[in-house]
């Protein structure tokens, strides 16, 4: 009996030892799991502030370019009217313009850069044939060439220029044109382009806001005695007509608009014109947009016969 009791006590001790070993093993496993979790969390937190690496062969998507970005990025512009040589037969077509970025260079030798905008007139056939360009009603749709998110160029609606019919006599019923932003379905009135009464000089006022009675922010004036108004030829003072842009707030000249010689064939066989505009250095995108609209208004008002 004593021997049996001794054997039973030995077996009980062995079972207790095995149970302690198992518990110690489980504790080690839990500790290792907790250490792995803490290391993974610390590695993820350390990578939060670092920029994510892009796999080779893939490029990050750039934000799409807006029409405001296009007009804000330019300092000088070149407006080129598309000639319609069929007008020699007596037909009057809708005016079309392309607007380019004007790069720097020697005076008179500026370089025409990439195209920024395209403008197309919308008007009736009877209106174009029965009324002169300085008083006929029209709408000009302006589209901007913007870069999309994939880096490709696409045309987006930018502006709607609307000029109603005006039968002008001296200071009565002066012509004007509204400028409306229509990008992304908007309809926001930016301002007006107006031709005030002036005895001699060619004058255009730029008014920001929704009220035509506001004080003009800019005034564009050209002397009426310039040779280019009476004789157009590719030499001397006859090859260009100068207009100065005056900031009414500062009462100083801040920019310039020039009608330049567009080539013999284009000048003789059509009434298409080219313009250069040196924009004010402090102008924001609204100012630049209204000056672009003023250049188109000047062509219709003073050079569309």
Q: Rounded to 5 degrees, what angle do the CA atoms 87, 89, 90 make? A: 70
Please name which of 99, 105, 95 lies closest in space to residue 78, comparing C-alpha atoms. 99
Rounded to 5°, angle at Cα 131 from 126 and 135? 130
H helical segments located in 114-160: 125-130
Q: How far apart are CA 240 and CA 186, in angstroms?
A: 38
Beta bridge partners of 117: 99, 144
Q: Could you read off the pLDDT tens digit of each residue along the chain, which spans 305 residues?
A: 455 555 556 665 555 555 544 455 444 454 454 454 544 444 444 444 454 554 444 445 567 789 999 999 999 999 999 998 888 888 889 999 999 998 765 455 566 788 999 999 999 999 998 988 888 899 999 999 998 888 888 899 999 999 999 888 888 889 999 999 999 888 999 999 999 998 889 999 999 988 878 899 999 999 999 988 888 787 778 889 999 999 998 889 999 999 998 888 778 888 889 999 999 999 999 999 999 999 999 999 999 87
């Amino acid at each position: 009996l004593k021997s049996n009791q001794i054997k039973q006590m030995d077996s009980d001790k062995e079972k207790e030892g095995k149970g302690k070993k198992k518990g110690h093993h489980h504790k080690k496993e839990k500790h290792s799991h907790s250490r792995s979790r803490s290391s993974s969390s610390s590695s993820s937190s350390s990578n939060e502030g670092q920029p994510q690496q892009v796999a080779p062969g893939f490029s990050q998507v750039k934000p799409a370019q807006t029409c405001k970005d296009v007009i804000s990025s330019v300092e000088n512009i070149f407006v080129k009217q598309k000639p319609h040589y069929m007008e020699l037969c007596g037909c009057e077509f809708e005016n079309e313009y392309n607007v380019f970025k004007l790069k720097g260079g020697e005076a008179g030798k500026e370089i025409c850069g990439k195209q920024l905008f395209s403008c197309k007139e919308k008007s009736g056939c009877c209106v174009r044939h029965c009324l002169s360009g300085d008083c006929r009603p029209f709408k000009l749709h302006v589209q901007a060439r913007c870069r999309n998110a994939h880096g490709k160029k696409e045309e987006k609606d930018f502006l709607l220029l609307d000029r109603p019919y005006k039968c002008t006599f001296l200071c009565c019923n002066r012509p004007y044109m509204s400028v409306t932003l229509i990008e992304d379905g908007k309809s926001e009135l930016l301002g007006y382009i107006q031709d005030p009464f002036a005895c001699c000089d060619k004058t255009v006022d730029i008014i920001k806001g929704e009220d035509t009675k506001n004080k003009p922010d800019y005034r564009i004036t050209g002397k009426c005695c310039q040779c280019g108004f009476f004789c157009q030829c590719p030499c001397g003072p006859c090859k260009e007509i100068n207009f100065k842009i005056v900031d009414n707030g500062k009462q100083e000249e801040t920019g310039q608009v020039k009608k330049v010689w567009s080539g013999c064939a284009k000048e003789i066989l059509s009434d298409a014109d080219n313009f250069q505009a040196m924009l004010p250095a402090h102008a924001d995108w609204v100012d630049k947009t209204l000056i672009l609209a003023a250049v188109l208004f000047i062509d219709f008002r003073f050079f569309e016969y």
